Amino acid sequence: MSGTQKSEAFANRRHNETIKHKSTRPFFATPLWISLAVALLAILLLLQVLYTYRNWFAHQPITASLTRSFCEITECEITPQRKVNQIEILSKNVYGHPNDPNSLIVSASLKNQSKHKQPYPLIEVSFINKEEETVALQRFRPESYTKKNAGQEFFLPGETLTFRMKIADPGSEAIRFQFRFL
């Protein structure tokens, strides 16, 4: 066999191996399909991250509109921001109940200074003695002081809420009180 014949035989064998190799590879193992699968998995991962951290993304200026649109499509809920430091106490008072000597009346007016609606806070009223120790403490859920506020779930921006509640008198040891929002 001459050199030319050997190179032709080698080329033919190489061509046949290439054809066999291509015909035995599954179509989904081609670079195009692999690229599409990786892109699809990356998109699914991004959507999962967006869904999982939607509350955080919804309160960021750059991603807020995208997150709200995403939740409209997928019908997911975004928890409103809770900023208890934006709730101002306009007035507060604790005084003896006029008809029950063992009870006190707690009254207060609150205002939401935040630019966004927020859930009503848990209100804690504590009574302090002369040694600055807490002698009595009571926490109030929003249902107990909002009276359901005509079905309203959130403290709207600029809204003022006034409430009055009857509580048990902690006794003469308590000389002052304080409010705290949780």
* Same domain membership, residue 100 and residue 58: no
* Same domain membership, residue 171 and residue 99: yes
Alpha carbon 54 to chain centroid, angstroms: 7
Q: What is the pLDDT of residue 130?
A: 93
Domain CATH for 176? 2.70.50.60
Express each pLDDT in 4-58 by its tens digit.
565 565 555 555 555 555 556 666 677 888 889 899 999 999 999 999 999 999 9
* Same domain membership, residue 162 and residue 122: yes
* Same domain membership, residue 97 and residue 15: no
Does residue 110 surpass a pLDDT of 90? Answer: yes
User: What is the count of structural domains for the chain?
Assistant: 2
pLDDT band (50, 70, 90) for residue 154: confident
Percent of the chain with pLDDT over 90: 55
Q: Which residue has the higher pLDDT, 8 or 122?
A: 122
Cα–Cα distance for residue pair 147/134, rounded to 1 Å: 28
Q: Which two tokens stand for residue 67?
A: 């997150």
Last residue of a domain, one of 26, 49, 74: 74
Phi/psi of residue 177, nearest 5 degrees: -135, 160
Tell me, yes or no, whether 79 lies in a domain. Answer: no
> Which range marks the domain in which residue 162 is found?
84-181
Last residue of a domain, one of 74, 107, 132: 74
Last residue of a domain, one of 42, 74, 106: 74
Q: What is the pLDDT of residue 12?
A: 58
* Same domain membership, residue 59 and residue 32: yes
* Same domain membership, residue 115 and residue 43: no
Cα–Cα distance for residue pair 56/95, rounded to 1 Å: 42
Does residue 62 surpass a pLDDT of 60? Answer: yes
* Same domain membership, residue 11 and residue 88: no
How much is the pTM?
Answer: 0.63
